Amino acid sequence: MAILPSVIIPVYRDAAALERTLASTDFSAAELIVSATREDASLAELRSTRQDIVWIDAPRGRAIQMNAGAAFAKGDWLVFLHADTRLPIGWSTAIEDASRDPRVAAGCFRFALDSESSMARLIELGVRARVAFLGLPYGDQAIFVRRAVFEAMGGYAQLPIMEDVDLVQRLKRRGRLFRSSKPAITSSRRWERDGWIGRSARHLLLMVLYFSGVSPERLMRLDSARQVHPDPPPGRIPLQ
């Protein structure tokens, strides 16, 4: 039986990145859902020209927007894709491979950056080690989840930051994590803007603080790139 994946892309004022991702990836065998805020005027042209996309309006916040998209999804698997990340050629075969093993609850792609810098390769090695030893992929690795599992666990927690880490931690209690060798290629623009070492060090600091018990609301104040206003209340976001 053919597997239908639903690709869910949360976006906020990043129409250019979304347009590049849409142009560079074949989504013909998938249901494509973009979850955006109603006031994001930058998407007006794409909304009018891409009738093949299911456009969802949701309050701002990555977890909120991804849950809103998931509530409309019809696919067997949900693929959560950042607007500035491109899926590899033949990406759906990874999901087909994961689907064959009933013990697998979720999966991810290999992290890669679209830069020729040696620092990019070093960061990729660090991510590879984190996933191999800790089983902890981030959202920029295009995490994919069985829809039934995602719904049973209540979707993404309503967190302003670390929502992907929280999801993966809960998913590991539901089944195995499938790791595809195919690369999901993320734009290096934020590392180039913030500095390779500076941005990576900030990511590491936030992760250490999170696992030390610092609340996501406090972490949010340390990461200006992920500011969401107003801060969502704690708990789970209903899937529908």
Name the phi and psi angles at 88, rounded to 5: -75, 165
Q: How far apart are CA 81 and CA 99, in angstroms?
A: 19
Average pLDDT value over all residues in the chain: 90
| Cβ 7 vs Cβ 92: under 8 Å | no
Q: How far apart are CA 124 and CA 103, in angstroms?
A: 27
Mean pLDDT, residues 184-197 taken together: 93
Over the stretch 22-31, which tens digit does the pLDDT of each residue have? 999 999 989 9
The more confidently predicted of residues 226 and 76 is 76
Helix, strand or coil for residue 213? coil
Tell me the mean pLDDT in the region 172-179: 96
Answer whether residue 229 shows pLDDT above 50.
no
Q: Is it the case that residue 40 has pLDDT exceeding 80? A: yes
The mean pLDDT of 46-62, rounded to a whole number, is 93
Q: Please compute the mean of the pLDDT values over residues 75-87 and round it to a whole number.
A: 96
More confident: 171 or 239? 171
- pTM score, two decimals? 0.90
What structural domains does the chain harbor?
Answer: 5-192 (3.90.550.10)
